[in-house]
Amino acid sequence: MRKMPFVLLAVLAMIVTACSGGDGGGSGSPTPGARSPEAGTSAGPAPSSPAGADCAAGYLGQFSTREKLAQLLTVGVTGTEDALSVVRDHQVGGIFVGSWTDLSMLSDGGLQQVTAAAKVPLMVTTDEEGGRVSRLSDLIGTAPSARDTAATMTSDEFYTATLERARAMKDLGITVDFAPDIDVSSQPDDSVIGDRSFSDDPAVVTDYADAYIRAMHEVGLGTVLKHFPGHGAGTGDSHLGAVQVAPLPELTERDLVPFRELIGSGSAVMVGHLDVPGLTTPGVPASISPEVMSLLREGSGYGAAPFDGVIFTDDLSGMAAITDRLSIEEAVEATLVAGADNALWISTDAVGQVLDQLEDAVAAGRLPMDRVDASVLRMADYKRIPRAC
């Protein structure tokens, strides 16, 4: 492992000083028009009653510290053997089915072997937006891009079409879809967001994303709003390098509108590797920024309700906006210390090293144990895992 950069050491020190007192979030009332959480979506924080506290303690008590930390990881797998190994050996909280995954795992009984190896229910996640971001098209068919969808069908028609695809995904064993993309964009179709955006009108984005979320939740799949605080007008592609977006006041008027309207929908939120002038520290993208996590948790900074659901990162190992700055071990520590609940990356290669680093972070006080516990409980609620009392 290479030496941790000075900027990260400074950021981690600042986070520990500022955030060691708890999870930093609170549950607020849903936004107007928001739907109640369905099976497979975030159900909010643990009850504050003594019975609720006992339930939480009982759930947490089944894990070692290392296993708690593993519950906060979602990793890409190549197929059944890879998935079975990482779940059996490390008890990660989720696996990710990507374009490189042998999809026979979803159709030949392999996934059942994998889920049976998990101590608690396993998230089986994918990117299924339609258009050019479709990991399962060979199994469930194709769907138009978000931009084409908004141009060719009503949101009610989209809801009906999404129900059909959601049922097909559930039948394969998928539990969470990293969608909808609620970026607001007028950029060309083939740009990094482009036709992945429903529209350059925040109201249109909100309408179609709401239809998508309702359909997915009706079937029992979890959804994830992305890419907070808004990638639609970024200066580049975070897969290739650093991306700067507009300052927060401009984001609030445009890019953050769909997040504000949908934050109470029961969806999780994915934070992007985005530099926000006046909000993020130079060289520290949103995905590892305590200021961005606080903006999302508190809500008041962009006119939204507080958010106490699950915060995912965008991919931490395959995007130069983060890999040019940090190793995977450093990036996972930084994002969890900053306030994210779940670190996503696209391979299983470094899971052991990441967990070693996280255990060191807990032992040294950089990552407070109460923060870990809060994230483990959020993940359990998002997966709708009952807490035995």
Q: What confidence tens digit (pLDDT) does each residue in 150-163 have?
A: 999 999 999 999 99
Max Cα distance, the chain (Å): 55
Average pLDDT, the chain: 88
Q: Which percentage of the chain shows pLDDT scores above 90? A: 79
102, 148, 239, 356: which one is catalytic?
239
Angle 313-316-318 from CA coordinates, rounded to 5°: 130
Residue 321 banded pLDDT, cuts 50, 70, 90: confident
| Choice among 255, 314, 341, 381 that is catalytic | 314
Specify whether 360 is catalytic: no
Q: Give start and end residues of each alpha helix (H) in 324-350.
A: 328-338
Q: Is residue 344 classed as helix, strand or coil in its secondary structure? A: strand
Burial of 142: CB neighbours in 10 Å, binned 0-12, 13-18, 19+: exposed
Return the SS3 of 165: helix
The pLDDT assigned to 52 comes to 67
For residue 104, which of 173, 177, 176 has the smallest C-alpha distance?
173
DSSP single-letter state for residue 249:
H
Q: 53 and 46 in contact (C-beta within 8 Å)? A: yes
**Does the pLDDT value for residue 331 go beyond 50?**
yes
Q: Is residue 314 annotated as a catalytic residue, yes or no?
A: yes
Q: What is the pLDDT of residues 11-33, one digit of tens each?
A: 444 443 333 333 333 333 333 33
Quote the pLDDT of residue 110.
Answer: 98
Considering the four listed CATH numbers 3.40.50.1360, 3.20.20.300, 3.40.50.2020, 3.40.50.20, the one that applies to the domain covering 96-382 is: 3.20.20.300
Q: Where are the domains of the chain?
A: 96-382
Give per-residue pLDDT as tens, 197-226.
999 999 999 999 999 999 999 999 999 999
Q: What is the mean pLDDT of residues 137-147?
A: 97
CA distance 376 to 341: 8
CA dist 7 to 14, 289, 366, Å? 11, 12, 15
The pLDDT of residue 11 is 43
DSSP secondary structure of 176-214: EE---B-----S-TTSSSGGGSS-SSHHHHHHHHHHHHH
